[in-house]
A and B are shown apart, each in its own frame.
Chain A
């Protein structure tokens, strides 16, 4: 029994439920035979990966759906052994280079050279190139991105890249310049509503429009999260009602609760409590930038504009520092302490004024 997100993932370009014009364009692109490197970007859960798989199927036929997971091994120049998971078919291979952290450059170089030099297994295959799908390209080191540049040009005859990321701001211009850039915006609320309704229909259920709409909004137009929420709702209560409770993801509640604790009390004891909570989040793989965003969201709720401004300014600085270092906890905690100082001062000033 698989989750709805996997069960009802569209498998053909013409079956994609939104951005249909783009899907048609992509189809035309493939029919014309030549195929450039692609850079697909858009927010999480907007359907990038789904679109890429449809594209591959259009290119190579159903053979691409026979996937295998393999572990590949690489050795860095300094003889450190690296392992990375890959998902591949006879026609393509997918990796997330940032899985190996700062050694991603080694993976990129070896992998693409290997793929480009190996022959297409299926000799009567329609295409004479293989595809390498790289995910989370915006998380790759700048070094690794540079390594991609000439590689992309050199091996273009038998290897095309599909790069996938959330934000293009951190992708170096030389890479953007080498790809056809394809923007995948989040589906609109209405589009999500109709997908949720269709999913229910296929499961033999009915869902009130109001509930579907609330889910779409609550998930912040993240289709994957919407589908997961809908399925969770189903487990909780069926038949659905328009205003039934929608469970938020645990981590979101957890962070909001943390923010409340921070506002309640500014003290050393509180800081150690918060430290534990932060570790808890990090252990569960909640990305640092998400923690920052939710915290800022919650901490700016009840204060005047002047303070909001300061909080945002500081968060922007600490979040950036977090990116440069590799211990998220330091920067998260530093921000929390900074906030406590600002807030304490703000309260004291407010008291002083009223006396």
Chain B
């Protein structure tokens, strides 16, 4: 088991230790895993569950995710009746196994507050026979009474070694600095990084070396020249040009959200703006980002931002 966890799930040290202890017979607290997508939250609990219960997986594990119905009623009925089942300390083949069941609530941040509140009672009442594992991206969307009943584990974004390890294993033709770029573009999302590498090698064919351009292209990174052009136009204070730039930008199918992220990084570092200007632009960036994630029109929001950058330049 240890070998399994160690080789397949890299990093995320503390969690692995706790689960390892449990496999060796220690008790398990209620768990709360949180962290960005693709950092191994789901994989790790599923792997551990299989190790713990083997053939009894189906009897001992209840997995509910955002695709299952998880209203208050389901929490009250389904989870309750599952939790009330008895759980012995041996497997059918006589080997020992933990005397409890695990309820995995994946993607728990999409559960309603009411459903979470209903879960609270159940969690308290069934501590004898059941452990809960809550998984989410944003811990702030889980109500406090639940988080305080769990041991929290933050899943860190990936590091470069892991990616290097994978590209070695797969015998991919790729340089170190390109791997660095990959780590940067995938923003800590291991799944995204792996998909990106995998896709490059599949799209290009395995014998073609992977270039920086492939990586940025697949990751959807916006070439710096676009950022510079945007700022340049704002500096010229030319509304008409700004509009046609934004039109061109959307036709190239770049993501507005990505643009905002990159602009944010760029402007913070830039010494072209003083702090006050940065603050004004930053505020608008925040508002516009929020609206874009809500589905607002990309071109209008970028235009709004552009106008504010223009005024900051003019000031």
Contact = CB atoms under 8 A, between A and B. Distances in A.
Q: Which 4 A-B pairs have the closest CB atoms?
A: A150-B65, A146-B66, A316-B304, A42-B253
A313 B307 contact: yes
Interface in A307-336: 308-309, 312-313, 315-316, 319-320, 323-324
A176 B66 contact: no
A155 to B, nearest CB: 10
Interface of A: 25-26, 28-29, 32, 34, 36, 41-43, 46, 77, 108-109, 138-139, 142-143, 146-151, 153, 167-170, 173-174, 176-181, 183-186, 220-221, 289, 292-293, 296-297, 300, 305, 308-309, 312-313, 315-316, 319-320, 323-324
Contacts of B295: 138-139, 169-170, 323
B300 A315 contact: yes
Contacts of B303: 296, 312, 316
Contacts of B151: none
Interface of B: 36-38, 42, 65-69, 71, 106-107, 110, 137, 189, 191-192, 195, 198-199, 202-205, 217-220, 237, 239, 243, 247, 250-257, 288, 291-301, 303-304, 307-308, 310-311
Contact of A150 (B42, B219, B252): B42
Contacts of A181: 218-220
Given A43-B250, A177-B37, A313-B304, 6 more contacts: A25-B203, A143-B110, A149-B65, A153-B42, A174-B37, A320-B291
Nearest to B257: A169
A173 B251 contact: no
B294 A109 contact: no
Contacts of A46: 251, 253
B291 A177 contact: no
Contact of A305 (B110, B237, B250, B254): B237
A38 to B, nearest CB: 10
Given A183-B220, A220-B247, A108 B67 contact: yes
Contacts of B71: 77
A173 B188 CA distance: 12
Contacts of B65: 149-150
Nearest to A183: B253
Contact of B202 (A29, A183, A293, A313): A29
A227 to B, nearest CB: 17
Contacts of A173: 36-37, 137, 189
B224 to A, nearest CB: 17
Given A153-B42, A177-B189, A177-B192, A170 B294 contact: yes
B218 A168 contact: no
B202 A28 contact: yes
A293 B300 contact: yes
Nearest to B256: A169
B300 A296 contact: yes
Contacts of B300: 289, 292-293, 296, 312, 315-316, 319
Contact of A316 (B38, B67, B137, B291): B291
Contacts of A178: 191, 195
Interface hub of A296, A297, A308, A312 (most chain B Cβ within 10 A):
A312
Given A146-B107, A169-B256, A185-B253, A177 B247 contact: no
Interface hub of A26, A149, A167, A289 (most chain B Cβ within 10 A):
A167
Contacts of A41: 253, 255
B211 to A, nearest CB: 13
30 contacts: A26-B203, A28-B204, A29-B199, A36-B195, A146-B66, A146-B110, A149-B67, A169-B257, A170-B294, A173-B189, A174-B38, A174-B137, A178-B191, A184-B253, A185-B252, A185-B253, A186-B251, A220-B247, A221-B251, A293-B297, A296-B300, A300-B239, A313-B304, A316-B288, A316-B291, A316-B301, A320-B291, A320-B301, A323-B295, A323-B296
A36 B288 CA distance: 32
Interface hub of A169, A309, A312 (most chain B Cβ within 10 A):
A169
Given A183-B220, A316-B304, A320-B291, A36 B66 contact: no
Contacts of B310: 305, 309
B94 to A, nearest CB: 32
Contacts of A315: 300, 304
Nearest to B205: A28
A324 B253 CA distance: 24
Contact of A319 (B198, B256, B297): B297
